[in-house]
Amino acid sequence: MLELLTEKFGKAIGRLRDTRKLTEKQVNDILRDVRTALLEADVDYDVVKSFIKRVREKAINQDLSKSPSPQDSFLVSIYEELVETLGGQKKDLEKGTVLFVGLQGTGKTTSIGKLSYYLKEKGYKVAVSSTDVRRPAAMLQLQRLAEKVQVEYYGFEEGLTALEIAKRAYERSKRDGVDYLLLDTAGRLHVDEELMEELRRIKELVKPSEVIYVADAMQGQSALESARTFHQLLGLTGVLLTKMDGDAKGGVALSVKEALGVSVKFIGVGEKIEDIEPFYPDRIAQRILGLGDIQSLLEKVQKAIPDDEAQVMAYRVMKGEFDLEDLLKQIRFIKSMGPLDKLLGMLPGIGAELKHVKINENMFKKMEAIILSMTKQERRNPKIINMSRKQRIAKGSGTTVSDVNKVLKEYEEMKKAMKRMLNARELPRLPKMPFLFRK
Ligand SMILES: Nc1nc2c(ncn2[C@@H]2O[C@H](COP(=O)(O)OP(=O)(O)OP(=O)(O)O)[C@@H](O)[C@H]2O)c(=O)[nH]1
Ligand SMILES: [Mg+2]
**Edge-to-edge strand list for the sheet holding 96-101:** 152-153, 126-130, 180-184, 96-101, 210-216, 238-242, 264-268, 276-278
**Are 10 and 47 spatial neighbours (Cβ–Cβ below 8 Å)?**
no
**Are 16 and 69 spatial neighbours (Cβ–Cβ below 8 Å)?**
no
Which backbone phi and psi does 71 adopt, to 5 degrees? -60, -50
Residue from 109, 110, 275 to probe ligand 1 pocket by mutation (most atoms less than 8 Å from CB): 110
pLDDT at 439: 25
Q: Minimal CA–CA distance to 43: which of 215, 224, 263, 245? A: 224
Q: How, if at all, do strands 210-216 and 238-242 pair?
A: parallel
Which atom of ligand 1 is found nearest the CA of 138? 23
Average pLDDT over residues 76-97: 90
CA–CA distance, 278 with 93 (Å, rounded to integer): 10
Dihedral (CA of 364, 367, 373, 377) sign = negative
Choose the weakest-confidence range: 19-33, 124-138, 147-161, 312-326.
Answer: 312-326
If you measure from the C-alpha of residue 274 to the centroid of ligand 1, how many angstroms do you get, rounded to a whole number? Answer: 14
Tens-place pLDDT, residues 345-361: 555 544 444 444 455 66
Tens-place pLDDT, residues 231-277: 999 999 999 999 988 777 788 899 999 989 999 999 999 999 999 99
Banded model confidence at residue 278, pLDDT cuts 50, 70, 90: very high
Which atom of ligand 1 is found nearest the CA of 187? 25
All structural domains of the chain: 3-86 (1.20.120.140), 96-291 (3.40.50.300), 295-423 (1.10.260.30)
Nearby residues of 40 by Cβ (< 8 Å), 6 or more positions away: 4, 8, 249
Between 239 and 416, where is the model more confident? 239
Nearest ligand, CA 240: 1
Nearest ligand, CA 268: 1
Which atom of ligand 1 is found nearest the CA of 113? 15
If you measure from the C-alpha of residue 109 to the centroid of ligand 1, how many angstroms do you get, rounded to a whole number? Answer: 7
User: What residue ranges line ligand 1, CB within 6 angstroms?
Assistant: 102, 104-110, 132, 138, 187, 242-243, 245-246, 268-271, 275
The residue nearest atom 6 of ligand 1, judged by CA position, is 107
